[in-house]
Chain A
Amino acid sequence: MISDIFIIVIAGLTICGGLLVFLSKRLLHAVLALTFVFIGSALVFAVLGEAFVALLQLFVFVGGLSTYLIVAVASETAQGGFSKTRFISALAVAAVGIALIFAWTGSGMLPYGSGFANIAASAISEYYPVFFMLLLLLFSAVIGSVLIMRRFVKLVV
């Protein structure tokens, strides 16, 4: 019952995040709202008992790709230079966030559902050609981005 209420609250917040992606006037706010959608989906996975998927979603999409996207969009308006206090405060926020996730996963509060990690491990050995195709997809995306960025470098230089 409590998990149902928790899911409804998270779903409501995630839907608000999805709406904000399109209703925001600034692109940076839209990207932040998208990050919120990723966090909401990770929380939904955790409530469903899929801790492995929730952590992957948090680390890869929120910690990696969303941060990369935010930095790319925010760097257009940001000034150069390095602020020591800003770095220390960001480091403190990141440390608290990671410590909370670590405490949450280690505390036993997180339910473990269908043993997703074990199934994923067996799937990797069984479907390795698909992994090579996914690898090719990501590699081609990186090559395409590098080709686009080469034109950007020519424009700047």
Chain B
Amino acid sequence: MIAAIYYVLALGFSLVAIALAGIAAHRNLIVVMLGIEIILAASTIVLVSFISGIQNPDPSGIMMLFAIWAVASAEIITVIALYIYMKSSDRSFDISKLSKMKW
């Protein structure tokens, strides 16, 4: 099981690296937010691998897992609303053109 945890940790770190590279390289707002979603998925992978590796896990670690899930869910809600709004109003998804957040 210990070897398996190392593989899973490697998976989590690889996903974070891929997501960071993708966020740095992409200019599409929605794809950038999908990259943040990948980072959150990687953090759940790392957290669960640590929790499964110890005998009596602390409940606060599980609360952290719920918190990550809540942030990821809130982000998906925001992505959907932003995508539909920006698509319908013919706004550009290019983040370099989104210089100000004006309501």
Contact = CB atoms under 8 A, between A and B. Distances in A.
Contacts, number: 164
Interface string B24-57: 0110101100110110010011001101101111
B35 to A, nearest CB: 7
B15 to A, nearest CB: 5
Contacts of A30: 30-31, 34
Given A37-B41, A156-B88, A48 B52 contact: yes
- The range of chain B's interface size is 35 or more
Contacts of A4: 3-4, 7
The majority secondary structure among interface residues of chain A is helix
Interface class of chain B by DSSP? helix
Interface stretch (A67-75, A82-90, A93-101, A102-110): A67-75
B98 interface: no
Contacts of B80: 68-69, 72, 145
Given A21-B34, A137-B71, A138-B73, A151 B8 contact: no
The 6 closest A-B CB pairs, nearest first, are A22-B22, A123-B59, A141-B74, A145-B81, A11-B11, A134-B70
Interface in A27-84: 27, 30-31, 34, 37-38, 41, 44-45, 47-50, 53, 56-57, 60-61, 65, 68-69, 72-73, 76
Contact of B76 (A7, A65, A148): A65
